[in-house]
Amino acid sequence: MSLIHIRSKENDFEISYSENPINLSGLKGKIALKTASLWYSWDNITEEYKNNEIKFRRSPHELSEYKSGKKAPQTELKNNEIKKDRQGLPRVEDEEDDRNESEWKILKLPNGLYDENELNNYIQEYFGTFETPPFYFDVNYATNRFMLIIRDKDYEIDFSHGKIHELLGFDKKIYSRRPKAASAAAKEGINYATKIGNITKDIDQILIHCSLVSSSYQNNLKSDVIYAFTPNISPRSLINIEPTHPKYLPINRTDYIFNIRISVTNQLNQLINFNGECLNFVLDIQ
């Protein structure tokens, strides 16, 4: 029996044993994953995915009412107050611009792993309030659909911008409160997503691949997957894998091992970005 300890910050890497090959003679020629640890550190919203921006504005109709003196805006800033994001960069212009411009604005989300609560936390931070912001998200768990709730009738959200609508399941269009809509929900600004969201960004199962493996299959195709699992812990936690009964699979050679390639993917065989966190594996060869 041979135990091989492997550590890397890459999600697809190769270890060379050309100077010290692993001799398989006298062994059964089988391999299993003994233990592994990796961080639940991947993101579902990033600039690379083009889904990190929410485009919104105050309705031009409501702004024209403000200018005519018929009403005041519901969200106000002190004169020349500037809101800042987590990096301390200005995001909103002074009060005059905020009140009188109907231009579309961009709420830019930092790269991260978000659910509806984390989205709402950042929206609250953006608008500088601990109370309910002008719009926010919720989930109807009976239908597994996201809801966009536009609390302030002055606001419109444009989901034709970027790809965040794909993550949340909304149509690629502009959403607003609809006072003349047939349903009470629509009148109250509750907009239901038309599709089930892809909030996991296609990471529903994690596959650990090993180039030595044979007799592994994905559906009807040969594969090099040595272990597969679904995370059942909180994001940003360390995932520890210790199979109670390791599954030993045949090694695809019988003489020497000169290199081992390891990669970690989702169920679609797409590499997972662990954001530089270390991946640790222990392989057992018999």
The CATH architecture assigned to 2-42+203-285 reads: Sandwich (2.60)
Residue 17, pLDDT > 80, answer: yes
Name the nearest CA neighbour of 228 among 213, 209, 242, 207: 207
**Residues 77, 13 contacting (CB under 8 angstroms):** no
Residue 78, pLDDT > 50, answer: no
CA distances from 191 to 150, 157, 177, 254 (A): 8, 11, 8, 60
Name the nearest CA neighbour of 154 among 83, 54, 98, 74: 74
Q: Which pair of tokens denotes residue 23?
A: 């001799």
Residue 4, pLDDT > 50, answer: yes
Residue 269, pLDDT > 80, answer: yes
User: What integer pLDDT is reported at residue 229 of this predicted model?
Assistant: 97
pLDDT > 90: what percent of the chain? 76
End-to-end CA distance of the chain: 5
User: What integer pLDDT is reported at residue 157 of this predicted model?
Assistant: 96
User: What integer pLDDT is reported at residue 179 of this predicted model?
Assistant: 61
Backbone angles phi, psi at 116, to 5 degrees: -65, -35
Give the tens place of pLDDT for each residue, 120-146. 999 999 999 888 899 999 999 999 999
**How large is the average pLDDT for residues 197-202?**
96
Tell me the C-alpha distance between 118 and 130, whole Å: 14
Domain range summary for the chain, segments of one domain joined by +: 2-42+203-285, 53-192
Average pLDDT of the chain? 87
Q: How many CA atoms lie within 13 A of 210 on its CB side?
A: 27
Name the nearest CA neighbour of 149 among 112, 180, 175, 125: 175
Give the tens place of pLDDT for each residue, 25-71. 999 999 999 999 999 999 999 999 999 999 999 876 554 443 444 44
Structure-token match 């411009």, residue found: 101
Residue 77, pLDDT > 60, answer: no
Q: What is the pTM of this model?
A: 0.81
